[in-house]
Structure 1
Amino acid sequence: MVSFLLRRLVALLPVLALVLVIVFSLVRIIPGDPAVTLLGPGATNEQIAALRLQLGLDRPAAFQFFDYVGGLLQGNLGTSLKTGNGVLQEILIRLPATLELSICATLLAILIGIPIGVLSATWPNSGLDHVTRVVSLLGVSMPAFLLALILQLIFATYLGWLPVSGRISPYVATPTVTGFATLDGVINGDFGAMWSAVQHLVLPTVVLAAFLATTLGRFVRNTMLDVMTEDYIRTARAKGLSRSSVILHHGLRNSLLPAITITGLKFAEMLGGAILTETIFAWPGVGRFMFEAIKNRDYPVIQGTTLIFALLFMATSLLVDLLYGVLDPRVRRKMQ
């Protein structure tokens, strides 16, 4: 297992290098000049030239790239052109919000998607199966921004049950311990703050979980239909095991291993793909921070957030592979 982990870590280095080169190149293709964006349309050519010189944007791209790589080797992701603060510091402040949202969305998707898949596979081609397939198709097809706007309109504007945006009420203040607003409220014994955080968390969590839940439900259904035709399932039935025991202990258990891969990869995608959801709900996470950086042509922030997202994606993928080895002895033997 250790040798497998070391091989995977070494194999990730070229991928990181390629991601770094691509991102560094692409951000400079984005139309617009960061100096003009920062100074505004009324800036003179002399002011723009002076700011470009101060930020090092007047140097050739190759020199800028080597300077950036040198900073990375020292743990420096650069300085935000907009705020003047370190990019790593800005990301670490916002990362707990993105992690809290992604974790809650993943847990909700698992609680909804797996039971839907099991029920559909248990009674295939039934009315329930047809309904769940239609709902799954709708969940996969509906754009996240459209679902977000519909939920905001219904539950925030019309019914007034939930807040439309933000992470916690501005009238609530609780000390930060973990960076997870809900957990901090519990730790500090401030259940008013916890309830406010939960209310703000509901709508963006549902939007992010919708796609994963429907995808997971369809995947579990199809996998279980294949598993239920295997010989060991017929053997279990011949032994006189109950229907629920065959489905849950033999069918579902062997269907969950491939579902782990889907869940892990989709969780990693959530971390980097929550930009739109965080922006719509004014969620103060890394995704919204990246969106603002793209608008402001903030090169260091775009590069830093993309690199962090790539690292999180690769770390999650590696964790899924290791979990596969823990749960499946056949995979574990291949890792030796």
Structure 2
Amino acid sequence: MARMIAQRLLAFLPVLLLVLLIVFALSRLIPGDPATTLLGPGATADQIAALRAQLRLDEPPLSQFFSYLWGVLQGDLGRSLKSGAAVTQELLERLPATLELAISATLVALVIGIPIGVLSAIRANTPLDHGVRIVSLAGVSMPAFLLAVLLQLVFGIWLGWLPISGRNSPYFLGDPVTGFAVLDGFLTGDPEAAWDAARHLVLPVMVLAAFLAATLARFVRNAMLEAMAEDYIRTARSKGLPERSVIFIHGLRNALLPALTVLGIKFAELLGGAILTETVFAWPGVGRYMFDAIRNRDYPVVQGATLVFALLFMLVSLGVDLLHAALDPRIRRRVGQ
């Protein structure tokens, strides 16, 4: 097991280097000039040239790449062209907001998606199953920005039940403890602030959880149908086990192993920043940070954020594989061999 972990970690290095090279090249292909964007349309040619020299944008691309790569090897992701702040610090400030959103959406999707998938499988080819499949197909197919706008319109504007943007109300802004707004409200003894943060969390979580729950329900349904057709299910029933035990102990337990892979991949994608959702809801996470950086042609932010996203994705993938090995003795035997 330790050797497998070491091999996977070593494999991260060429992948991260390739990601960095591709993003570096693509970011230079974005139309426009960062210096012109920062100075505005009224800037003179001399001012633009001076700022390009200050930001080292006048150097050859290859020289810029190796200079940036040397900084990355020293743990420096560079400085934002717009704010001048360290990219690492700005990412760390925004990561808790994305983590709170991703974890909340994943928990909601688990609570909704798994029971619906199991129910659809044990009632296969019934009107209930057809209805679940239609709803889950709609959840997978609907664009996130469209669902976000619809929820804002219904629950935020027409009904006025929930806020439609931001992470906190202006009068509840305080010093963060953990970076998780809801948890910080309880830790600081301010339940009203926690409730306000939870209300701001509802709509973006609903958008992300809708897609994830629909994906999970479809996958669990298919995995359950395959599991319930196996010989060990017929053996369990022939032994006189209650149907509930057959479904949840023997069927669901084996069906969840492949579903775990899908869940891990989707969670890693959420950690990478739900760019559209965070932008529509003005959520101050890494997704919106990335969107603003692309719009402003902020090369160091785009490169640093993408590198961190890739690393998080690979770490989550490794964690899922380790969890698989812990839950499935067949995988442990293969790893041991």
What's the TM-score, normalizing by structure 2?
0.99
**Corresponding residue for residue 250 of structure 2:** 250
Q: Conserved in 1, the CA contact under 8 Å of 2:156 and 2:162?
A: yes
- Deviation, 1:239, is 1.1
Does 1:5 pair with 2:5?
yes
1:297 positional shift: 0.6
The equivalent of 1:315 in structure 2 is 315
What are the within-5 Å matches in structure 2 for residues 1-336 of structure 1?
A: 1-336=1-336
- Structure 1 moving runs of 4+ over 6 Å: none
Gaps of 5+ in 1: none
Post-superposition shift, 1:240?
A: 0.9
Q: Quote how far apart the aligned CAs of 1:273 are.
A: 4.5
1:108 Cα deviation after fit: 0.7
Query: Which secondary structure state, in structure 2, belongs to the residue aligned with residue 100 of structure 1?
Result: helix
Change (3 A) 1:22 1:302: same
| C-alpha deviation, 1:175, in angstroms | 3.1
* Identity across the alignment (%): 68
Shift of 1:12: 1.4
Q: CA deviation at 1:32?
A: 0.3
Counterpart residue identity of residue 18, structure 2: L
Following superposition, the deviation at residue 271 of structure 1 comes to: 1.8
Q: Given that residues 162 and 200 in structure 1 are in contact (C-alpha distance below 8 angstroms), is that contact kept between their aligned partners in structure 2?
A: yes
For 2:214 and 2:96, locate their aligned partners in 1 and report how far apart those are by CA, in whole Å. Answer: 26
Mapped partners of 2:152, 2:186: distance in 1: 27
Please give the per-residue CA displacement for 1:98-119, whole angstroms capped at 9, x wherever unaligned: 0100010111111111001000
What SS class does the counterpart of residue 168 from structure 1 fall into? coil
For 1:7 and 1:165, the matched residues in 2 are separated by 43
Q: In the alignment, is the contact (CA less than 8 A) between 1:174 and 1:193 conserved in 2?
A: no
Q: CA deviation at 1:270?
A: 1.3
Distance 1:329 1:245 in 2: 21
Using the TM superposition, name which of 275-284 and 264-273 deviates more: 264-273
Q: Is the 8 A contact 1:174 1:185 kept in 2?
A: no
Q: String of CA shifts for 1:79-133, please: whole Å, max 9, x gaps.
A: 1010010000110000000010001011111111100100001110111101100
* Contact 1:260/1:320, CA 8 A, preserved across alignment: yes
CA distance in 2, matches of 1:145, 1:273: 14
Does the 8 Å contact 1:79/1:86 carry over to 2?
yes
Residue 71 of structure 1, CA deviation: 0.5
Q: How far does the alpha carbon of each residue in 1:21-56 deviate from its partner, in whole angstroms, 9 at most, with x for none?
A: 000000000000000000000000000000000000
Given that 2:98 and 2:273 are in contact with CA atoms closer than 8 Å, whether structure 1 keeps it comes out as no
1:145-166 residue CA offsets vs partner (Å, 9 max, x unmatched): 0000000000000000100100
Moved more, 170-179 or 201-210: 170-179
SS of structure 2 residue aligned to 1:56: coil
Report if the CA contact (8 A) 1:174-1:188 is conserved.
no
Distance of 1:229 and 1:299 partners within structure 2: 53
Offset of residue 305 of structure 1: 0.6
Stretch of structure 1 that moved more, 268-277 or 117-126: 268-277
SS in 2 for 1:171: helix
Find the residue that maps to 1:297 and give its secondary structure: coil
- Count of residues in correspondence between the two structures: 336
Distance 2:171 2:123 in 1: 50
Q: Deviations over 1:269-328 (max 9, x none)?
A: 112250110000000001101111111110000101111111110110010000000100
Q: What are structure 2's unaligned runs of at least 5 residues?
A: none
RMSD over aligned Cα, in angstroms? 0.7
| Alpha-carbon distance in 1 for matches of 2:257, 2:170 | 43
Contact kept? 1:120, 1:132, Cα under 8 Å: yes
